[in-house]
């Protein structure tokens, strides 16, 4: 190459070198860094971070992260989302400038994740479609639609007397170990094949109890239609606190796709205790029952996210079933009264009914649905009002009859029929029934079509009636599920099916016979 050629290439070579150097110049890495001043169980006090915002994600060495939950002049309080023993005073802390997020998408269906969406089921990483903030504002009023479509639980006492609608917030409360979780799990099982997606969030629950729930959903064929979010008692308090918000964001993703979702928070009593623990460690002044003053807002902003959207906003719905534990049937305690005022009704489980063997132990008198018949099928509405009134009268008659007073014939008949209604409201665990079968059973009991059947034979009669309704009246079942009211001909068909089923029952065994 001659000298003239080199001189001609010189300017272009220099320009290429200058462009390469410009591209190689790195932008300055600006990070606001603070210092950990103190560490306690689940909490870190950090100084030097003056521009932190509430709920911002803070990073620590060794991949530990935390949530800024207390902004004070002396330093910020950070709820750690991992093992606090990995952190010591004097170590650095960095701002991230963003809120904590959780992975969302269809890839989470059938998976078990922790409180911030990390997989814990050893099935590999989750390929999320997006990452949504854990704390999201509730849908505005203008985007909400009235709750008008039923969410069938498959439990006779609930679907008949305490109906739940899609987009409703229905509280489940009662003393410990009387079947609160079973009602929520049965509701999830009853959604199999309906297209409704389930999200189960376990907060502070023992691993054995969570494993039983997962095994039940797997046996019922519903696990692949569910997302399980678990924050166990061994996890950091910050993870237990953030878990229900993360689970709600996961559910909201499906609601935004136009799907119907039901989420179970099991349970918010432990969630409230976790927030009380964190707040006391942060030196916040305690209020009633040592809970911080913002505990109402903590639960209100969570449950307000449950709603039904208008069609022009996607038409999806999110139904919330929070669970709360009472102590010695004290419904007036701080957390239960808070949640009763936030939700659209409550299902109360009575220890007295539980010990009498009336399962599920639902106290119809103390339970209520503020949505009511608006979320019921027309066929249900035709008998639900009669059922509640009849059952309340029966309980009054039964209490009066304990005094040994001589009763007239009509009162004795009401007592006998009421005992049959109560027996018919019994239901085995994890055995939800279709709406058409429930309507046939309760209509037959209220109308007296089973008055001649001994109470001891009602369980066998129920099985025979359900089988006949399903196989002999498929068209009637379809019309009931489609929301059509019962006609006089339908009542006649149901009565015929009930009477013929009762005739096939074997006579009850006599006492003392071998």
* Residues marked as catalytic: 370
CA 176/CA 361 separation, integer angstroms: 12
Alpha carbon of residue 270 to chain centroid: 15
Kindly report the CA angle at 180 between 174 and 185, in degrees rounded to 5? 165
Find, among 38, 33, 69, the residue nearest to 48 by Cα: 33
**Sign, Cα dihedral of 82, 88, 94, 95:** positive
Identify the residue whose tokens are 């109402």: 296
CA 456/CA 458 separation, integer angstroms: 6
Of all residues in the chain, what percent are helix, strand and coil, respectively (each to 5)? Answer: 45, 20, 35
Residue 299's Cβ-count burial label (10 Å; 0-12, 13-18, 19+) is buried
Cα torsion for 333, 336, 339, 340, to the nearest 10°?
-100
CA 169/CA 165 separation, integer angstroms: 9
Find, among 246, 287, 286, 291, the residue nearest to 272 by Cα: 291
E-assigned strand segments in 275-329 = 317-325
Give backbone dihedrals phi and psi of 331, rounded to 5 degrees, phi first: -75, -15
Cα torsion for 162, 343, 222, 150, to the nearest 10°?
50
Overall residue count recorded for the chain in this entry = 514
Identify the residue whose tokens are 């308090």: 237
Cα torsion for 164, 165, 167, 169, to the nearest 10°?
-20
The per-residue b/e assignment along 216-250, b for 16 or more CB within 10 angstroms, e otherwise, is bbeebebbebbbbbbbbeebbbbbbbbbbbbbbbb
Rg (CA), the chain: 29
């Amino acid at each position: 190459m001659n000298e003239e050629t080199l001189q001609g290439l010189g300017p272009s070579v220099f320009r290429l070198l200058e462009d390469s150097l410009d591209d190689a110049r790195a932008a300055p890495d600006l990070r606001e860094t603070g210092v950990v001043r103190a560490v306690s169980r689940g909490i870190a006090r950090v100084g030097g971070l003056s521009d932190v915002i509430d709920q911002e994600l803070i990073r620590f060495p060794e991949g530990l992260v935390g949530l800024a939950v207390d902004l004070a002049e002396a330093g910020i309080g950070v709820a750690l989302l991992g093992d606090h023993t990995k952190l010591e005073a004097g170590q650095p802390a960095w701002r991230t400038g963003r809120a904590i997020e959780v992975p969302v998408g269809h890839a989470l269906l059938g998976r078990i994740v922790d409180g911030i969406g990390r997989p814990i089921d050893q099935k590999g990483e989750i390929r999320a479609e997006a990452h949504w903030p854990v704390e999201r504002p509730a849908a505005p009023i203008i985007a909400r639609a009235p709750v008008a479509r039923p969410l069938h639980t498959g439990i006779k006492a609930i679907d008949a007397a305490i109906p739940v609608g899609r987009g409703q917030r229905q509280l489940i409360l009662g003393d410990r170990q009387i079947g609160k979780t079973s009602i929520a799990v049965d509701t999830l099982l009853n959604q199999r094949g309906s297209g409704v997606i389930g999200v189960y969030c376990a907060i502070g629950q023992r691993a054995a109890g969570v494993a039983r729930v997962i095994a039940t959903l797997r046996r019922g064929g519903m696990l692949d239609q569910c997302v399980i979010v678990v924050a166990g008692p061994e996890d950091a308090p910050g993870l237990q606190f953030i878990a229900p918000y993360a689970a709600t964001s996961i559910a909201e993703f499906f609601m935004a796709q136009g799907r119907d979702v039901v989420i179970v928070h099991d349970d918010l009593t432990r969630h409230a205790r976790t927030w009380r623990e964190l707040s006391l460690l942060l030196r916040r002044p305690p209020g009633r029952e040592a809970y911080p003053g913002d505990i109402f807002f903590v639960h209100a902003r969570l449950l307000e996210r449950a709603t039904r959207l208008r069609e022009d906003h996607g038409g999806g719905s999110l139904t919330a079933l929070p669970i709360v534990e009472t102590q010695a049937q004290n419904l007036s305690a701080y957390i239960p009264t808070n949640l009763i005022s936030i939700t659209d009704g409550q299902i109360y489980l009575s220890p007295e009914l539980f010990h009498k063997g009336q399962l599920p132990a639902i106290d119809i008198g103390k339970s209520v649905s503020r949505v009511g018949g608006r979320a019921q099928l027309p066929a249900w509405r035709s008998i639900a009002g009669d059922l509640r009134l009849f059952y309340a009268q029966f309980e009054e008659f039964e209490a009066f009859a304990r005094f040994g007073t001589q009763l007239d014939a009509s009162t004795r008949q009401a007592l006998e029929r009421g005992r049959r209604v109560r027996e018919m409201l019994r239901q085995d665990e994890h055995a939800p029934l279709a709406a058409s079968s429930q309507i046939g059973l309760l209509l037959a009991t209220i109308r007296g079509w089973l008055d001649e059947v001994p109470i001891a034979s009602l369980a066998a009669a129920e099985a025979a009636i359900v089988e006949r309704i399903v196989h002999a009246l498929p068209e009637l079942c379809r019309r009931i599920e489609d929301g059509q009211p019962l006609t006089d001909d339908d009542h006649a068909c149901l009565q015929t099916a009930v009477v013929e089923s009762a005739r096939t029952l074997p006579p009850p065994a006599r006492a003392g016979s071998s």
